[in-house]
Structure 1
Amino acid sequence: MIRFGPAGWTYKDWAGVVYPKPCPKEFDPLVAIARLFTTIEINTSFYGPVTPKNAHLWLERTAFNPDFRFTAKLWQRFTHQRDEPWTAEDVRWTRVGLGIMHKAGRLGAVLVQFPWSFRNVPENRDWVDSIVDAFGDFPLVLEVRHASWNEPSYYAELVERGLGFVNIDQPLYKDSIAPSARATAAVGYVRVHGRNYKEWFRHKSPIDRYDYLYSAKELAPWAERTKEIASHPRVQDVYVITNNHARGKGVANALMLEAMVTGRTVEAPEPLLREYEEVLGPYARPVDLLSTTVALQQ
């Protein structure tokens, strides 16, 4: 199955574009996303472990859509804060929330996302090995952004260990890993970040960095790559995540990709369709997200 969805669902600048504004208290953004899509990438898990309370709540609130799956970024303690080793307690707390979702059959993948500065050197390979030792019973997918990882031995190792490779779209600099359609495990993963060259390395704000709207022409190759990944014999599920979240642009592009891959018209929130009519219009019809979401909660 190919699942499409954005990265994260709680952004202030989505009000009036994806979600209603003002937003009534009975409107649940997560229910709205599960109404539109079949996956969501949890963003908050990058900043701290998923709590058992949240894991149970998220499962309960999306239970109406049996095809809906969560993917979750691994806590940055394991991927970005590498000055000192993590502790057994760090691993234990991280595993609790993820384990609840995994046991329920609703955790599609755990995203092990490394920054561009993470190069293919022996000590970093050892670091990856340690993560796999700690979390290898979860469906892991590895995202690397530096071109030094683009070598056959790395991909062969992922296949041998059943680890997924994250095919990414990002601004292409000299040492950036390029777009691909690699399938190394049962889980295939596509993640598009946008192409905001000006803000990519400035670190002013995540909103600025991921402020980019793909055109249909730019997305078309990714629709074909998604089909290629899904057709691979070892792949059982594919997750297509749009991380260009500024002002709901990732929501628009996720809907466009779904329409391009499936050949079907999708439903889009009315304000989103008005905001991005030029690119989204040919692929979507409007839906009243407020009324349909509230109805699902009753």
Structure 2
Amino acid sequence: MIRFGPAGWTYKDWEGVVYPKPKPKGFDPLVAMASLFDTVELNTSFYAPITPHNAHLWLERTAFNPDFRFTAKLWRRFTHQRDEPWTAEDVRWTRVGLGVLSEAGRLGAVLVQFPWSFRNEPESRDHVDAIVSAFEGFPLVLEVRHASWNEPSYYAELVERGLGFVNIDQPLFKNSIAPSARATAAVGYVRVHGRNYKEWFRQTSPIDRYDYLYSARELQPWADRTKEIAAHPRTEDVYVITNNHARGKGVTNALMLKAMVTGQPVEAPATLLREYAGALRPYARPVDMAELGRGSPAPSG
């Protein structure tokens, strides 16, 4: 199955664009997202381990869609804060929250996301090995952004260990890993970040870095790659995540990709259709998000 969805679901700048503003009483953004999509990528898990309480709430609020799966970014303690070794307690608490989703059959993948500065060197390989050992039993997918990882031995190792490779779209500089359609495990993963060259390496806010709207022409190769990944013999599920979240652009592009791959029109928030009419209107029909999102407030994602 191919699942499409955005990274996260709670952003202030989505109000009035993706969600109604003011939000009506009882409106639940997660319910709204699970009505439009079959996955979302958890952002909150990057900043701290998922609490079992929140995991159970998320499961309850998305139970109406049996195809819905969460993917979760691994806590940055393991991927970005590498100067100091993590503790057994760090691993235990991270596994507990992920385990709630996994035991319910609703965890599609754990995203092990490394920055561009993480190069293919012996110590980096050792670091990856330690993470894989610590989180054995979870469906891990690895995102690397530096071109030094683009070598056959790395891909062969992923296949041998059943680890997914994250195919990414990012601004392409001299040593940036390029777009691909690699399938190395049962879980296939596509992640598009936008092409905001100006802000990519600046010490700026994520909103600015990922502020980019793909055109249909730019997305079509990714629709083709998604189909290629899904057709690979070892692939069972594919996740297509749009991380260009500024002002609902990721929601727009996720809907466009879904329509391109399935060949079917999609439902889109009427406010989003007005905001990005030129890009989205050929692929979507309007829907009232206030009706889709009826429910109790959900924890931030």
| Alignment partner, residue 266 of structure 1 | 266
Matched-pair identity in %: 82
TM alignment of 1:1-298, pairs within 5 A: 1-294=1-294
Classify the secondary structure of the residue corresponding to 1:77. Answer: helix
Asked if 1 retains the 8 angstrom alpha-carbon contact of 2:26 and 2:295, the reply is no
User: Which aligned runs of 4 or more in structure 1 are off by greater than 4 angstroms?
Assistant: none
Stretches of structure 1 that go unaligned for 5 or more consecutive residues are none
Any gaps of 5 or more consecutive residues in structure 2?
A: none
| 3-state SS in 2 of match to 1:78 | helix
- Bigger relative contact order (CA 8 A; separation at least 6): 2
Alpha-carbon contact 2:248-2:272 (below 8 Å) kept: yes
Instruction: Measure the CA separation in 2 of the matches of 1:125 and 1:293.
Output: 43
Structure 2 distance, partners of 1:34, 1:69, is 9
| Offset at residue 203 of structure 1 (A) | 2.2
Cα deviation digits, residues 220-267 of structure 1 (max 9, x gap):
000000000000000000000000000000000000000000000000
Q: Residues of 2 paired with 1:25 and 1:120: CA distance?
A: 50
Aligned amino acid, residue 289 of structure 2: L
Rounded to whole Å, the distance in 2 between the matches of 1:52 and 1:296 is 18
Q: What code does the residue aligned with 1:69 have? A: R
TM-score (norm 2): 0.98
- Contact (CA 8 Å) 2:114, 2:144: kept in 1 or not? yes
Q: Which amino acid aligns with 1:207?
A: I
Q: 1:292: how far off?
A: 2.9
Measured in 2, the distance between the counterparts of 1:203 and 1:102 equals 35
Structure 1 residue 124: deviation in Å? 0.4
Q: Tell me, yes or no, if the aligned pair for 1:203 and 1:209 is still in contact at 8 Å.
A: no
Check whether the contact 2:192–2:244 (CA below 8 A) recurs between aligned residues. yes
Structural RMSD (CA): 1.0
Q: Aligned equivalents of 1:90 and 1:20: distance in 2?
A: 38
Taking structure 1 as the reference length, the TM-score comes to: 0.99
Distance 2:9 2:78 in 1: 23
Please give the alpha-carbon distance, in whole angstroms, between the structure 2 residues aligned to 1:51 and 1:294: 24
User: Does the C-alpha gap of structure 1 residues 230 and 91 become closer, same or farther in structure 2, counting only changes over 3 Å?
Assistant: same
Is the 2:28–2:295 Cα contact (8 Å) retained in structure 1?
no
Q: CA deviation at 1:204?
A: 1.1
CA distance in 2, matches of 1:295, 1:169: 34
Cα distance in 1 between the residues matched to 2:182 and 2:202? 29
C-alpha distance in 2 between matches for 1:194 and 1:136: 31
In 2, Cα distance between equivalents of 1:57 and 1:185:
30
SS in 2 for 1:239: strand
